[in-house]
Chains A and B, each alone.
Chain A
Amino acid sequence: MKLQTGVEAGVEGAVLKADVRELDFYYGAFHALKRVSMPIHDHMVTSLIGPSGCGKSTLLRCFNRMHDLYPGNRYAGGGIVLYPDNTNLLSPDVDPIEVRMRISMVFQKPNPFPKSIFENVAYSLRVRGMRNRSELADRVEAALKGAALWNEVSNRLDELGANLSGGQQQRLCIARALASDPEIILFDEPTSALDPIATASIEELIIELKEKVTILIVTHNMQQAARISDFTAYMYLGEMVEFGVTDQIFIKPQKKATEDYITGRFG
């Protein structure tokens, strides 16, 4: 199945950042992604929606090769091509660490390291070999400002990240993901552990962040996808059912299955 990209559909300012091409993925014997294809557009927010177990998180975790950490996981065909350099992220020749340096991730549950607020953000810079104190301080400040957390923590950077509230912790994790200036940030249901007010602030932040970075987000909250994303992909049972401009997916889906899911008749 050939999907129409935003470029082809004539969406204003749409440029391809990455392209998932007929990707197959297995957890042991379980065929979790079946010939999945989808485009990712530069400086846009793309949502992955679908019922539990549809493969949306599995697809997301292919983008930073998280699956490589566990035995038995297998990329079985196809790939994810990153533009403009045309690198296939899933190629065995590409080091997963190189991929993770280019594409960072924010997890479902806030997972700050048991270190200070400063060190949490600085960590993604330290693994890139940055040692200069003033440069680190500048980059950490910029990342915390980017994650809309600076005003709340600027006078207590030495405190433990775990002492912050849940929403603040998640923004700290966003700052950590942002600090290294990645090309794409992956969000894996980033607000599912947060209260509505913290959720709203994270959503607002994600919309602001697309100025700087391309965003791919998994969400089980359809309203959230509708609110924040430019493009939406609906997955079911490991297959890509429909991909398109968010408004179109929610107002006039092409497939009956998508319509059933979105209108709440199913899922």
Chain B
Amino acid sequence: MMKAADLAAIRAIITRAKRWDLFFSLLGILSLMVGVLTFTVLFVDMAIQGVPRLSVDFFTSFPSRRAEHAGILSAWVGTVLVMLLTALAAVPLGVAAGVYLEEYAPKNWITDIIEINISNLAGIPSIVYGLLALGLFVYYFGFGQSILSAGLTLALLILPVIIVATRESIRAIPQSIHEGSYACGATTWQTVSDHILPYSSAGILTGVIIGMARAIGETAPIITIGALTFIAFLPTAPFAGDPPAGLFDWIFAPFTVMPIQMFNWTSRPEAAFTVNAAAAGFVLVFMTLAMNGLAIYVRYRLRKNIKW
């Protein structure tokens, strides 16, 4: 039989021990708030400044010397097209590289060196990618200061992110599923295409979106390869114009993107341009959030049918 005094002592110990729980949860909330609040303040400030400036005209006008007539048409079209090429280049390359490293690569020192370097690539400053791309894509391959050059540059930039995300989500598949597939007599490719890719697609998609969200805001490498800051025309749509443009002529067009347009406006002395920059910033953040929202939704749909 427990004595009353002992019980009181145990309770005192528990109360004392639980103080650390309280302390840590407060610390955690505080750390969380530093990040969340900072972003919220910045975003709300930008929204207050920029949102009143948003109108249909803002999205359908080219940049102009007069702030009230200036819009982001060439910038958002440029951003969308560059992102499209980035995804088209980075997703197949990144996923293929990740699958190769996890499922096919022999376990030896060459593979180890490649693995270490992929993590290192993720840490290289983006301007360095810009310089590489200037030499390689713009001059050596002769793609010029085009949407194609920009898309490929950003693809290189986010490739490590996609490779790492692919490998992580493949590793999250239980070994027993892996062995189960091989035990049925599947080849490595059958295992990859019937099991590994379908079950890891949600995780891979998350990595792709994280990478894209990083790429959409990149300015330095895009400036390095020579994106123009003032573009008052759109790339020619496929089959438009006279003589008609080819299906892929637009990828060689000069372009600008949202962050460059913002950067250009913030460096103007007139206050009205600062408002434009805030409005463009709001649109850019909204584009990023929309992408993340889409990713969360698709991930939810994909994961619903995956249980082990």
Q: Give chain A's interface residues, CB within 8 Å of chain B.
A: 64, 66, 69, 71, 97, 100-101, 104-105, 107, 109, 111-114, 123-124, 126-128, 160, 162-163, 173, 176-177, 180
Q: A127 vs B179: C-alpha distance in the bound complex, in angstroms?
A: 14
Question: Are A180 and B185 interface neighbours, CB within 8 A?
Answer: yes
Chain B residue contacts of A177, Cβ below 8 A? 183
**What residue in chain A is nearest B307 (Cβ atoms)?**
A162
Chain A residue contacts of B185, Cβ below 8 A? 97, 100-101, 104, 124, 127-128, 180
Q: Is B266 an interface residue (CB 8 A)?
A: no
Question: Are B199 and A176 interface neighbours, CB within 8 A?
Answer: no
Closest chain B CB from A89 CB (angstroms) = 14
Chain A residue contacts of B107, Cβ below 8 A? 71
Q: A165 vs B177: C-alpha distance in the bound complex, in angstroms?
A: 17
Q: Give chain B's interface residues, CB within 8 Å of chain A.
A: 106-107, 174, 176-187, 190, 194-195, 199, 305-308
Q: A124 vs B191: C-alpha distance in the bound complex, in angstroms?
A: 12
Of listed B182, B183, B195, residue having the most chain A CB within 10 A: B183
**What residue in chain B is nearest A176 (Cβ atoms)?**
B184
Closest chain B CB from A61 CB (angstroms) = 9
Given contacts A107-B180, A109-B176, A111-B179, contact A97 B308 (CB under 8 A): no
List 21 A-B pairs, Cβ < 8 Å.
A66-B182, A66-B183, A69-B178, A71-B106, A100-B182, A113-B181, A113-B195, A114-B308, A123-B184, A123-B194, A126-B194, A127-B184, A127-B186, A127-B187, A127-B190, A160-B305, A162-B307, A162-B308, A173-B180, A176-B184, A180-B185
Q: A112 vs B176: C-alpha distance in the bound complex, in angstroms?
A: 9
Of listed B176, B180, B185, B194, residue having the most chain A CB within 10 A: B185
Question: Are B184 and A69 interface neighbours, CB within 8 A?
Answer: no
Question: Are A69 and B179 interface neighbours, CB within 8 A?
Answer: yes
Closest chain A CB from B199 CB (angstroms) = 6
**What residue in chain A is nearest B183 (Cβ atoms)?**
A105
Question: Are B176 and A114 interface neighbours, CB within 8 A?
Answer: no
Q: A253 vs B199: C-alpha distance in the bound complex, in angstroms?
A: 49
**What residue in chain B is nearest A124 (Cβ atoms)?**
B184
Q: A128 vs B185: C-alpha distance in the bound complex, in angstroms?
A: 8
Chain A residue contacts of B184, Cβ below 8 A? 100, 104, 123-124, 127, 176, 180
Closest chain A CB from B302 CB (angstroms) = 11
Closest chain B CB from A266 CB (angstroms) = 31
Chain A residue contacts of B178, Cβ below 8 A? 69
Chain B residue contacts of A101, Cβ below 8 A? 185
Chain B residue contacts of A126, Cβ below 8 A? 194
Q: A107 vs B307: C-alpha distance in the bound complex, in angstroms?
A: 17
Given contacts A123-B194, A180-B185, contact A111 B177 (CB under 8 A): yes
Question: Are A111 and B305 interface neighbours, CB within 8 A?
Answer: no
Of listed A97, A101, A162, A177, residue having the most chain B CB within 10 A: A97
